[in-house]
A and B are shown apart, each in its own frame.
Chain A
Amino acid sequence: MNPTALIMWLSAVLIVSSATAYFFYKVLVTPHGKTEAEEQPTPPVKSFDVS
């Protein structure tokens, strides 16, 4: 491979792989915060009640 192509390829692979690994790692280690109350949908609002 010529040096320019190699640099382009390696840069793209490094940037994309690092970002993928970083964000997926964050997903794995960040706790999934939730409460029972939050699982209930927001009570509906009647459009015609909204002024």
Chain B
Amino acid sequence: MSSQHENWGSRVGLVLAMAGNAVGLGNFLRFPVQAIQNGGGTFIIPYLVCFLLMGIPLLFVEWSMGRFGGRRGHHSTPFILDSMSKFAFWKYIGVFGIFTNLAVAAYYCYLESWALGYVWNSIAGMFSGMSSDQVAGFFSDYTSLNSAEPIIFWVICLALNTWILSRGLSGGVEKVAKVGMPLLIAFGVILAIRGITLKAGHDGAIFSGTAGLNFLWTPNFSTIWEPKVWLAAAGQIFFTLSVGMGSIQCYASYLRSKDDVALNAMSAGWMNEFVEVVLGGAIVIPITVGYFGVDGMIELVNKAGGLGLGFRTLPYLFQQWGPILAVLAGVMWFGLLFFAGITSSLAMGTPIMGFLRDEFGWKRESSAWLFGALILILGLPTVVFFNYGVFDEYDYWAGTVSLVVFALFETILFAWVFGINRGWKEITMGADIKVPVLFKYVIKFVTPVILGAVFIGSLPSIMDTINNTAIHEQLAAATDETTISTLKKTIFFKNISRFALLAMWFSIAVAVAIAYRKRMREGRFTNIEA
């Protein structure tokens, strides 16, 4: 069997790759919108509390689980989880750690390719002279596949991801992180300064950028005890840190046995927070408010969300800064989104590669190309049927629900099955910082409760999604034949995508069962007594 002796080349490279895994498009597009919708400046309080009580503990848990599994030659969650308990079913919980990465990568690479495509279009001056509606229309045309361009950039992105992954951790992923993360931060800092210093009356701006900051950060303390605000804050922490996916365990499984996890996890986690809170909060909202005012910005957010602001609105606003700055701002904005995307999608490729190499002796190159091929096949419906909600369906089930389910199970495994004392020993072994003992109790009692609350709080939305409630309501209100037909098609494609995702999960579970039997036949280790 393939014995993987791959390791990270440097500590900085590892931390940047882990931070890159966490930093995604959501840091710039999701966080500010969540803050606006949940109490403005007050949102930061539950947000930081959830980061301390759920985010950091989960980072500690996932990093140490990964190193623990890696020490035993496991580089994917099914057998990392299996190695922590004597109960066989944990390996099937670990299936989520491969499934989520594959399903999320399937649509995420498409999103990433938009950023790459928009970098190209910014350089080509495509948005020059366009009105606000024309820029928005360009995005609609782009996602409707009215030209071959989106497909070309998508295929380029897939090939790029595959090629980098085939170069290995230190030769590929780490090098990209070392270039991509500093560039992302540099672009973010420049755009944030520009956003904050935007002045009313200059470059066509009606309001100053600080008006946007003012709106974003003015606290509404009446919302602070609302459960939905805490649920939104906990959800945002989840998505932003990439916890509950299985990619952190996979990256950490390539640590050396006595390498630190505590300081590395803290550094990568806080770096993600810097990008999200400091940079993410200072670009989209201040710039949009500068041109459309607070009401205009809210209208745009309600219409198309953070993604809409990023792709439908900002390219138009950059044009107001003059031809040269427009190109530069476009390249920096979509460039940073692209780097945020690719450093995350690379992390999504490593669990399936680790699994194939550990269990079936695949070579790194072959497993990388298989990942690319799978993403092409699984991602095609999200590209072709984007307007019928397939993309959103993948995002909801794989990128939202699965994360919570997996994180809840892994925390229970770590704190209650593997045992918090043994778990704490794992976290503190080789630690380069003193980890407050408080976290031991937080991991055992508080984190599972928060995760349980997030899951229970999500149940109504899960039921509504399963029943397609929102679409049925639209259908009931619709009178136009075309709208009715589109909505019916949307329901059909959404249902099909759910079955496809379910089939994907079961296929991985079958592969895990085969791998387990193979291990048994070969007399290889599976688990330890809990």
B contacts, CB < 8 Å to A: 3, 5, 7, 10-12, 15, 40-42, 44, 48, 70-73, 86, 210, 213-219, 256-260, 263-264, 266-267, 270-271, 273-274, 277-278, 281, 430, 432-433, 523-529
Report A-chain residues with C-beta under 8 Å of the C-beta of B277. 12-13, 16
State whether B267 touches A34 (Cβ < 8 A). no
Report A-chain residues with C-beta under 8 Å of the C-beta of B216. 5, 9
Given contacts A20-B273, A44-B525, contact A27 B73 (CB under 8 A): no
Report A-chain residues with C-beta under 8 Å of the C-beta of B7. 39
Report B-chain residues with C-beta under 8 Å of the C-beta of A45. 72, 525, 528
State whether B274 touches A20 (Cβ < 8 A). yes
**Bound-complex Cα distance A45 to B296 (A):** 63
State whether B528 touches A50 (Cβ < 8 A). yes
Report A-chain residues with C-beta under 8 Å of the C-beta of B433. 23, 26
Given contacts A27-B263, A27-B264, A50-B529, contact A4 B524 (CB under 8 A): no
Report B-chain residues with C-beta under 8 Å of the C-beta of A42. 71-73, 257
Report B-chain residues with C-beta under 8 Å of the C-beta of A2. 214, 218
A contacts, CB < 8 Å to B: 1-2, 4-6, 8-9, 12-13, 15-17, 19-20, 23-24, 26-28, 30, 32-35, 38-39, 41-42, 44-47, 50-51
Identity of the chain A residue whose Cβ is nearest the Cβ of B88 in the assembled complex: A47
State whether B278 touches A26 (Cβ < 8 A). no
Given contacts A12-B44, A20-B273, A41-B73, contact A47 B525 (CB under 8 A): yes
Report B-chain residues with C-beta under 8 Å of the C-beta of A34. 256, 258-259
Q: Tell me the minimal C-beta distance from A18 to chain B in angstroms.
A: 9
Q: Mind listing 6 A-B residue pairs with CB under 8 Å?
A: A9-B217, A20-B267, A20-B270, A30-B11, A38-B258, A39-B5
Main secondary structure of the interface of A (DSSP, over half): helix
State whether A8 touches B219 (Cβ < 8 A). yes
State whether B41 touches A9 (Cβ < 8 A). yes
**Bound-complex Cα distance A9 to B42 (A):** 10
Identity of the chain A residue whose Cβ is nearest the Cβ of B529 in the assembled complex: A50
Q: Tell me the minimal C-beta distance from B275 to chain A in angstroms.
A: 9
Q: Which of A4, A16, A23, A47 contacts B278 (CB 8 A)?
A: A16
Q: Tell me the minimal C-beta distance from A4 to chain B in angstroms.
A: 6
State whether A27 touches B12 (Cβ < 8 A). yes
**Bound-complex Cα distance A46 to B521 (A):** 12
Report A-chain residues with C-beta under 8 Å of the C-beta of B214. 1-2, 5
State whether B213 touches A26 (Cβ < 8 A). no
Identity of the chain B residue whose Cβ is nearest the Cβ of A39 in the assembled complex: B256
State whether A30 touches B274 (Cβ < 8 A). no
**Bound-complex Cα distance A34 to B48 (A):** 34
Q: Tell me the minimal C-beta distance from A46 to chain B in angstroms.
A: 6
Q: Tell me the minimal C-beta distance from B72 to chain A in angstroms.
A: 5
State whether A28 touches B213 (Cβ < 8 A). no
Report A-chain residues with C-beta under 8 Å of the C-beta of B263. 23, 26-27, 30
Q: Which of B86, B274, B432, B523 contacts A50 (CB 8 A)?
A: B86
Q: Which of B12, B210, B256, B281 contacts A28 (CB 8 A)?
A: B12
**Bound-complex Cα distance A6 to B258 (A):** 44
Report B-chain residues with C-beta under 8 Å of the C-beta of A24. 15, 267, 270-271
State whether B213 touches A1 (Cβ < 8 A). yes
Report A-chain residues with C-beta under 8 Å of the C-beta of B256. 34, 38-39
Query: What 20 new A-B contacts, CB under 8 Å, besides A20-B267, A42-B72?
Result: A6-B217, A12-B44, A12-B48, A13-B277, A23-B266, A23-B267, A24-B271, A27-B11, A27-B15, A27-B267, A30-B263, A33-B258, A33-B430, A35-B258, A39-B5, A41-B72, A42-B257, A44-B525, A45-B72, A47-B527
Given contacts A2-B214, A24-B15, A42-B72, contact A17 B3 (CB under 8 A): no
State whether A4 touches B219 (Cβ < 8 A). yes
State whether A38 touches B257 (Cβ < 8 A). yes
**Bound-complex Cα distance A39 to B271 (A):** 28
**Bound-complex Cα distance A31 to B151 (A):** 45
Identity of the chain A residue whose Cβ is nearest the Cβ of B433 in the assembled complex: A26
Q: Tell me the minimal C-beta distance from A47 to chain B in angstroms.
A: 5
State whether A16 touches B86 (Cβ < 8 A). no
State whether A13 touches B278 (Cβ < 8 A). yes
**Bound-complex Cα distance A9 to B218 (A):** 9
Report B-chain residues with C-beta under 8 Å of the C-beta of A47. 86, 525-528
State whether A8 touches B267 (Cβ < 8 A). no
**Bound-complex Cα distance A6 to B494 (A):** 44
Given contacts A38-B258, A39-B256, contact A19 B72 (CB under 8 A): no
Report B-chain residues with C-beta under 8 Å of the C-beta of A8. 41-42, 44, 217-219
Given contacts A1-B210, A9-B41, contact A15 B48 (CB under 8 A): yes
Report B-chain residues with C-beta under 8 Å of the C-beta of A27. 11-12, 15, 263-264, 267
Q: Tell me the minimal C-beta distance from B440 to chain A in angstroms.
A: 20
Report B-chain residues with C-beta under 8 Å of the C-beta of A9. 41, 213, 216-217, 281
State whether A41 touches B3 (Cβ < 8 A). yes
**Bound-complex Cα distance A27 to B18 (A):** 13
Q: Tell me the minimal C-beta distance from B429 to chain A in angstroms.
A: 12
